[in-house]
C-alpha cells in the first residue's frame, strides 16, 4: 500500500465570474453558506479525511483567505470579555495549528492544471488530494474520506465522479470506464469539456481527487487544452499511460457554489441539515413559497 494522503491542494484563485458582484471584494470561496464560508466546510471535510496540511493556491486580492484562517485577537478578545463563549468557539473552530497551511500565489490564471502544478514543492514526493472548493459536498462520510478509503483499497489515482444532469456533461471533465460495477471502477479515459454528443459517459469529475506526485512532471510541460487552459484532466489522461486511475462515484450530494442557484441550494440544504436551525428554516421557506 502506498503512502498516506496527508496534504490537500485547494485551488481558490478563480474570479468567481458567476457569483459577481458578490465575489468582487470577497474571494468566492469565502462567501457564506448559512453562517460559515464555503471554505470552512471544505476544510472540515478534508480534516475528516485525515488531511494535515492545506495548500491554498490563491490569486491577487485574496488575502482575506489567509486572514480567515489566522487568529484574530481583537474579535476573540471582545467575545471572551463579553462571555460569548459559544461564538468564540465557533470562530476558533476553523483555525489550523501553526504551520498546517501554505498559501501560494498562482500569479497567472493559466488553468487548473497550472494551479495544481504550483503546489509541487510543498507537496514533494507523496500522494496528495486536490479539492475544488466551489463544489460543496454533503455526505454522511466526508466525500474526500470516501476517496481516501478507495485509494487505500486500490492505490494509484482516484477521481471522484457523479452523474451529470441531462444535457450538462459538456460543461465538465468526463470519465470513461472499463466497466461499471458498484461505485469504484477502473478508468480507461477522460476528456475535459467534450463537445455535446461526444461524451464517453455521463459521469463528470466532481472536484475531489487523490493523485500521485508524478502528475507534476506532466503538468510542467503540458500543452494548453480546452478553453486555452492547462487542464488537470489532460495531465491525468497522460499519467494514465503509466499509472492506474479509478473513478469513485461517491455517496452524497454536490452543490456548485460557484453558481448563484447552486449557492442558494447549498444555503437551503445546509440550513435544513442543522438540527438547531432546521425547524425555523423550514418554516421560513414555507412562508416564502
Ligand atoms: C473543473 C475541472 C473539471 C471538473 C469541474 C468540476 O472545471 O476542470 O474537470 O468537472 O472543475 O467543477 P471548471 O469548473 O474549472 O471549468
Q: How far apart are CA 51 and CA 43, in angstroms?
A: 9
User: 90 CA distance to ligand 1 centroid (A)?
Assistant: 31
**If DSSP codes are grouped into helix, strand and coil, which group holds residue 16?**
coil
Ligand 1 pocket residue status of 234, Cβ below 6 Å: no
| Minimum-distance ligand 1 atom for the alpha carbon of 192 | 9
| Minimum-distance ligand 1 atom for the alpha carbon of 172 | 10
pLDDT given at position 152: 97
pLDDT given at position 280: 97
Q: How far apart are CA 123 and CA 84, in angstroms?
A: 39
If you take atom 3 of ligand 1, which residue's CA is the nearest one? Answer: 173
What grid cell was written down for 230?
492547462
Q: ∠ at Cα 270 (23, 75), nearest 5°?
A: 60
Cβ neighbour number for residue 228 with a 10 Å cutoff: 9
Closest CA to 100 of 46, 138, 137: 46
User: 89 CA distance to ligand 1 centroid (A)?
Assistant: 34
pLDDT given at position 2: 75
Ligand 1 pocket residue status of 12, Cβ below 6 Å: no
pLDDT given at position 1: 57
If you take atom 7 of ligand 1, which residue's CA is the nearest one? Answer: 172
pLDDT given at position 107: 94
Q: Is the peptide bond before 103 cis (omega within 30 degrees of 0)?
A: no
Q: What is the total residue count of the chain?
A: 289
Closest CA to 150 of 179, 182, 178: 182
User: 154 CA distance to ligand 1 centroid (A)?
Assistant: 24
269 burial via Cβ count (<10 Å: 0-12, 13-18, 19+): middle
Q: Please say whether the beta carbons of 170 and 185 come within 8 A.
A: no
- Backbone torsions φ then ψ of 40, nearest 5 degrees: -60, -45
What grid cell was written down for 27?
474571494
If you take atom 15 of ligand 1, which residue's CA is the nearest one? Answer: 112
Q: What are the residue boundaries of the structural domains of the chain, listed by start?
A: 11-288
pLDDT given at position 102: 98
Per-residue pLDDT of the chain (289 residues; tens, 9 = 90+): 578 999 999 999 987 888 888 888 899 999 999 999 999 999 999 999 999 999 999 999 899 999 999 999 999 999 999 999 999 999 999 999 999 999 999 999 999 999 999 999 999 999 999 999 999 999 999 999 999 999 999 999 999 999 999 889 989 999 999 999 999 999 999 999 999 999 999 999 999 999 999 999 999 988 899 999 999 999 999 999 999 999 999 999 999 999 999 999 999 999 999 999 999 999 999 999 9
Ligand 1 pocket residue status of 192, Cβ below 6 Å: yes
Ligand 1 pocket residue status of 132, Cβ below 6 Å: yes
What grid cell was written down for 181?
460495477
Ligand 1 pocket residue status of 37, Cβ below 6 Å: no
Class of 11-288 in CATH: alpha beta
Amino acid at each position: 500500500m502506498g503512502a498516506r494522503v496527508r496534504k490537500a491542494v485547494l485551488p481558490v484563485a478563480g474570479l468567481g465570474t458567476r457569483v459577481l458582484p458578490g465575489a468582487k471584494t470577497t474571494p468566492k470561496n469565502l462567501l457564506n453558506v448559512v453562517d460559515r464560508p464555503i471554505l470552512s466546510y471544505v476544510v472540515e471535510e478534508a480534516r475528516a479525511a485525515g488531511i494535515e496540511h492545506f495548500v491554498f493556491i490563491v490569486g491577487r486580492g485574496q488575502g482575506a483567505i489567509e486572514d480567515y484562517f489566522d487568529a484574530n485577537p481583537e474579535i476573540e478578545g471582545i467575545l471572551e470579555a463579553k462571555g460569548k463563549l459559544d461564538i468564540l468557539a465557533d470562530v476558533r473552530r476553523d483555525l489550523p495549528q501553526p504551520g498546517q497551511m501554505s498559501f501560494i500565489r498562482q500569479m497567472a490564471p493559466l488553468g487548473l492544471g497550472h494551479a495544481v502544478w504550483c503546489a509541487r514543492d510543498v507537496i514533494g514526493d507523496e500522494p496528495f488530494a486536490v479539492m475544488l472548493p466551489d463544489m460543496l459536498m454533503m455526505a454522511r462520510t466526508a466525500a474526500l474520506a470516501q476517496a481516501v478509503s478507495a485509494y487505500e483499497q486500490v492505490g494509484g489515482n482516484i477521481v471522484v465522479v457523479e452523474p451529470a444532469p441531462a444535457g450538462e456533461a459538456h460543461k465538465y471533465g468526463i470519465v470513461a470506464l472499463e466497466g461499471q460495477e458498484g461505485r469504484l471502477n477502473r478508468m480507461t479515459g477522460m476528456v475535459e469539456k467534450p463537445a455535446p454528443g461526444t461524451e464517453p459517459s455521463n459521469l463528470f469529475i466532481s472536484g475531489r481527487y487523490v493523485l500521485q506526485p508524478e502528475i507534476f512532471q506532466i503538468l510542467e510541460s503540458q500543452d494548453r487544452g480546452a478553453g486555452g487552459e492547462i487542464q488537470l484532466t489532460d495531465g491525468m489522461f497522460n499519467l494514465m499511460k503509466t499509472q492506474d486511475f479509478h473513478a469513485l462515484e461517491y455517496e452524497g450530494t454536490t452543490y456548485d457554489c460557484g453558481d448563484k442557484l447552486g449557492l442558494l441550494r447549498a444555503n437551503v440544504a445546509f440550513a435544513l441539515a442543522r438540527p438547531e436551525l432546521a425547524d425555523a428554516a423550514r418554516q421560513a421557506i414555507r412562508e416564502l413559497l
